[in-house]
Amino acid sequence: MDKDILICGVGGQGTVLASGIIAAAAMAEGNVVHSAETIGMAQRGGPVTSHVRIGDKAFSPLIPLNKADLIIGFEPSEVVRNIGYLSAQGIAVVNTTAVKPVTASLSGSGYDGSEMTAYLKKRGNCIFADATAECESLGSVRFLNILLLGIAAGSGRLGIKKETMMSVIEKRVPEKFREANINAFIKGYDIGSATGQG
Amino acid sequence: MKEYVMGNGAIALGALKAGVNVVCGYPGTPSSEIIETIAKYPHEGLHLEWSVNEKAALEVAAAAAYSGARALVTMKQVGLNVASDPLMSLAYVGVEGGMVVVSADDPGPISSQTEQDSRRFAEFARIPVFDPASAEEAFEMIQDAFTYSEKYKTPVIFRPTTRVDHGYAAIEAADTYTPKSFEGFKKDPGRFVIFPRLSYKNHGMIEERNVRIGEDLSSYRFNTAEGGPSAKAVLAGGISYMYAKEFLQDHPGVTLIRIATAYPFPESFMLDKLKGVEELLCLEELSPYLEEQVLKLAGRYGITLKVYGKISGHVPAMGENSADSVKNILKDFLGIESLESSGGVSDAPALPARPPVLCAGCPHRASFYAVKKAMEGEKTYYCGDIGCYTLGNAMPLDMVDTCLCMGAGVTMAQGFSHIDKDGKAFAFIGDSTFFASGMTGVVNAVYNEADITVCILDNSTTAMTGHQPHPGTGRNMMGHVIQKVSIPKILEGIGLTKVITVDPLDLKAAVSAVKECAGLKGVKAIIFKSPCIAIEKSSKKCTIGDDCINCKKCIRETGCPALSLSEGRVVIDASMCTGCALCSQVCPVSAVKGGV
């Protein structure tokens, strides 16, 4: 399988664990995988991206523009920031809940993500879900990353089996949160399946 | 068994496989995970430490290497500036066991003060440098680096860049590692005591030896040429080689030359590959090192060719290269028409800016705020330093007037105090930075009669680089619990006018401590002590009551990211709030409840 997956969000949202799970699951299915993370100062509330490259034709750790098959977006403006990476046939999974930066609160700009979602809707090739609200209904926004992985897997665009993903998640998350994470994944998977993208 | 690790993990596993005996370093993005990976494989015969700074690390390692052991030292590129004093001399003395100095460069720069190029440092010190292009290569190349170091009895530099350090790949990890067995230090003052006469003799030896190393490296396995032959060729190093390789797999027939050992330059190899080349494009980051080497060769050997790169203006002088920037430069060079779209988002709505900020509940925010409140209306100098608290520069705190390098805050505050007797000079320095290079500055300030207030932001960790322990935390990288080195006792020993320890989250007490210290002559210190919220989180969140008058003072004054406006009302994001209660102490009507 050759697939380029870009994960984007805001520092602190759990993108690094999400990319680690995709990489481990893709490897468990026999693929060569490379990935790259944003680490350092940007992790303090700045924009973060993870690039996951599956297949043996990828030499650069970063996905070139117009090449991503899938974007998993934790925040709507971050999807817009990275939309240039999406290929013409690619799909973006978009969490519609905005993370408001301090600069927006200070300036009173009123940024709430709706403008971003409207832009992406017009552009097309996106699956929208209020993943943050879905997580809150499960008890904690802590599982946002896993729920979004569920949506990506359920849409059929991730190219990795549901069972493989679940087995990796079980191994990667702390035992006391295992059940909650699996529930989040399944909830996301059902949302993804319902989009009929697969 | 294969482990999926980042490039820094690959460097660590390679060093372990090479039988490394002693590993030292100081944290710094993008190098920190090398030592953290090695810490996951403790075994008999391995000494591992976070040293107080890079100079200390290099000197500890040098003694091990004198004894025939294999030593690894890790740091970021600006750390090599700190370690340059021992390195420059060590280059003259040489080593017995293999010694590799990892200096991680940061094109961009992404998390650094400079865009310096450690290949230059290698040439400056006259020692070999290895430049891996991927995590897989880094694993192999670090082992080669130990071999060459031992073969030529010289320390070598290993220079990954951020994208190699933080790029993940599957790497072979062993269950157990066996450190190298070595004979131990053999006293030989003629060899290990550096004197002018020794340096003169060894300088000549080193220059002669480096010609031989360059010849040896001409057949090195990672100095490669593929594709072609072609009149238009590409020369690349580091990650730029991977960008070029990925593009050229769809455009075969172009020679791609890759130099992994920039110094000593593999001349014979390069001369051979330049045969028939009329135009050469050099792709590299930071400085035009390879480009200059080819220009020198062309002059010395009378080769006629055109060389393009940073010097000629075909490759940007600054910033990192990317798959896309390299693709566009290659298209221009090879005359390939561009048909695809640029991937631009010109029609997109304006994106919110997200400068990095102090975390919600970070005690540094409260410390800065206390000083700001206490000094309202006064003429002040706020000298910052390197760490999370550099982010105190952001609005609305705006509490960092200067930031230069590790430890400079203390000494620069001293400088301001001498040239302006009316201003109040403050230094802000974290606990780890204080141990690294702040202590000597405090001694200097006391000795030279400065009037400054040193604010030590003690969050009991090295937060920015990923929460490494330091001498004040009571544990080390060997997994031992040790006596904490006490910052108040150090300051007491130096003989400060006043030392106050205060909890920054108690705003009233913190403001009063600042006022007291600022009013005194001499060198004073306030230790703002409160743990990093990434380590100790309170479950008691703050909430906003109905009595909120929506004045937004909490947002305006603290800039805490957990505070925002929702439908015109101030709200607290419970998933971010740590209950620090700074906002409740700022609130004029006590509308914020809970926390602490």
Identify the structural domains of chain B with CATH numbers, from first to last.
2-216 (3.40.50.970), 224-334 (3.40.50.920), 363-529 (3.40.50.970), 542-594 (3.30.70.20)
Report the alpha-carbon distance of residue B188 to residue A127 in Å, rounded: 71
Identify the closest residue of chain B to A85 by CA–CA distance: B343
Cross-chain residue pair A80–B351, CB shorter than 8 Å:
yes
Q: How confident is the model at residue B339 (pLDDT cuts 50, 70, 90)?
A: low
Cross-chain residue pair B356–A110, CB shorter than 8 Å:
no
Reply yes or no on whether the pLDDT at B184 is more than 70: yes
Q: How confident is the model at residue B356 (pLDDT cuts 50, 70, 90)?
A: confident
Q: Which of residues 229-268 of B touch A (CB under 8 A)?
A: 239, 242-243, 245-246, 249
Cross-chain residue pair B167–A57, CB shorter than 8 Å:
no
pLDDT of residue B345: 62
Chain A contact set for B168 (CB, 8 A) = 23, 33-37, 61
Cross-chain residue pair B243–A59, CB shorter than 8 Å:
yes
Q: Which of residues 495-524 of B touch A (CB under 8 A)?
A: none
> Distance, in angstroms, between A133 CA and closest chain B CA?
12
- The shortest CB-CB distance from B170 to any of A27, A77, A140 is to A27
pLDDT tens for B526-571 read: 999 999 998 887 789 999 999 999 999 999 999 999 999 888 899 9
Q: Which of residues 130-159 of A touch B (CB under 8 A)?
A: 140-142
- List the one residue out of B229, B238, B230, B319 whose CA is nearest residue B283: B238
- The shortest CB-CB distance from B356 to any of A42, A61, A84 is to A42
pLDDT tens for B223-276 read: 999 998 999 999 999 999 999 999 999 999 999 999 999 999 999 999 999 999
Paired strand residues for A126: A92
Report the alpha-carbon distance of residue B319 to residue B162 in Å, rounded: 12
Token digits of residue B266: 């593999």
Cβ-based neighbours of A164, under 8 Å, separated by 6 or more: A25, A28, A29
> Distance, in angstroms, between A153 CA and closest chain B CA?
21
Cross-chain residue pair B166–A39, CB shorter than 8 Å:
yes
Chain B contact set for A7 (CB, 8 A) = none
- Give the CA angle between residues B238, B241, B245 to the nearest 5°: 155
pLDDT of residue B343: 55
The helix (run of H) or strand (run of E) holding residue B295 is helix B289-301
Q: Which of residues 114-133 of A touch B (CB under 8 A)?
A: 115-116, 119
pLDDT of residue B340: 63
Cβ-based neighbours of A98, under 8 Å, separated by 6 or more: A75, A76, A77, A111, A112, A113, A114, A116
Amino acid at B300: R
Dihedral sign, CA of B467, B472, B474, B475? positive
Q: Which of residues 459-488 of B touch A (CB under 8 A)?
A: 464
Reply yes or no on whether the pLDDT at B140 is more than 80: yes
Stretch B71-89: mean pLDDT, rounded? 98
Report the alpha-carbon distance of residue B573 to residue B562 in Å, rounded: 5
Token digits of residue B514: 């600042």
The answer to whether B237 touches B263, Cβ cutoff 8 Å, is no
> Distance, in angstroms, between A23 CA and closest chain B CA?
8
Cross-chain residue pair A41–B356, CB shorter than 8 Å:
yes
pLDDT tens for B24-74 read: 999 999 999 999 999 999 999 999 999 999 999 999 999 999 999 999 999
Chain B contact set for A35 (CB, 8 A) = 167-168
The answer to whether B126 touches B70, Cβ cutoff 8 Å, is no
Q: What are phi and psi of B65, to 5 degrees?
A: -70, -35
The answer to whether B165 touches B5, Cβ cutoff 8 Å, is no
Reply yes or no on whether the pLDDT at B162 is more than 60: yes
Q: Mutate which of A8, A39, A103 to test chain B, going by most B C-beta atoms within 10 A?
A: A39
Identify the closest residue of chain A to B386 by CA–CA distance: A41
pLDDT of residue B8: 98
pLDDT tens for B277-298 read: 999 999 999 999 999 999 999 9
Residues in chain A: 198
Identify the closest residue of chain A to B553 by CA–CA distance: A106
Report the alpha-carbon distance of residue B548 to residue B592 in Å, rounded: 8
Reply yes or no on whether the pLDDT at B341 is more than 80: no
The helix (run of H) or strand (run of E) holding residue B25 is strand B22-25
How much of chain B is in helix, strand and coil states, percent to nearest 5?
A: 35, 20, 45
- The shortest CB-CB distance from A102 to any of B324, B344, B559 is to B559
pLDDT tens for B450-466 read: 999 999 999 999 988 88
Cross-chain residue pair B242–A59, CB shorter than 8 Å:
yes
SS (H, E, C) chain A: CCEEEEEEEECCCCHHHHHHHHHHHHHHCCCCEEEEECCCHHHCCCEEEEEEEECCCCCCCCCCCCCEEEEEECCHHHHHHHHHHEEEEEEEEEECCCCCCHHHHHHCCCCCCHHHHHHHHHHCCEEEECHHHHHHHHCCHHHHHHHHHHHHHHCCCCCCCHHHHHHHHHHHCCHHHHHHHHHHHHHHHHHHHHCCCC
Q: Mutate which of B172, B248, B354, B388 to test chain A, going by most A C-beta atoms within 10 A?
A: B354
Domains delineated in chain A: 3-194 (3.40.920.10)
- Give the CA angle between residues B185, B191, B193 to the nearest 5°: 90
Report the alpha-carbon distance of residue B437 to residue B228 in Å, rounded: 52
Q: What DSSP string describes B53-87?
A: SHHHHHHHHHHHHHTT--EEEEEEHHHHHHTHHHH
Token digits of residue B458: 């003690």
Instruction: Tell me, yes or no, if B203 comes closer than 8 A to chain A by beta carbon.
Output: no
Q: Which of residues 542-561 of B touch A (CB under 8 A)?
A: 555-556, 559-561
Report the alpha-carbon distance of residue B419 to residue B428 in Å, rounded: 19
The answer to whether A190 touches A154, Cβ cutoff 8 Å, is yes
> Distance, in angstroms, between A105 CA and closest chain B CA?
5
Identify the closest residue of chain A to B28 by CA–CA distance: A40
- List the one residue out of B314, B260, B252 whose CA is nearest residue B283: B314
Q: Between chain A and chain B, how many beta carbons pairs sit less than 8 Å apart?
A: 159
Q: What's the mean pLDDT when you consider all of chain B?
A: 96
pLDDT tens for A129-171 read: 999 999 999 988 889 999 999 999 999 999 999 999 999 999 9
Helices (H), B305-453: 323-334, 363-374, 408-419, 431-433, 439-447
Query: HSE of B19 in the Cβ direction (CA atoms, 13 Å)?
Result: 15
Q: Which of residues 78-97 of A touch B (CB under 8 A)?
A: 80-81, 83-85
Q: What are phi and psi of A56, to 5 degrees?
A: -100, 10
Q: What DSSP string describes B557-595?
A: HH--TTEEEETTEEEE-TTT-----HHHHH-TT--EEE-
The answer to whether B284 touches B258, Cβ cutoff 8 Å, is no
Chain A contact set for B556 (CB, 8 A) = 106
Q: What percentage of chain B exceeds 70 in pLDDT?
A: 99
Q: Which of residues 162-181 of B touch A (CB under 8 A)?
A: 163-164, 166-170
Paired strand residues for B536: none
Q: Which residues of chain A have pLDDT under 50?
A: 198
pLDDT of residue A198: 47
- Give the CA angle between residues B380, B383, B386 to the nearest 5°: 160
Q: How confident is the model at residue B1 (pLDDT cuts 50, 70, 90)?
A: confident
Residues in chain B: 596
Cross-chain residue pair B561–A35, CB shorter than 8 Å:
no
Cross-chain residue pair A100–B358, CB shorter than 8 Å:
no
Dihedral sign, CA of B354, B356, B359, B363? negative
pLDDT tens for B389-424 read: 999 999 999 999 999 999 999 999 999 999 999 999
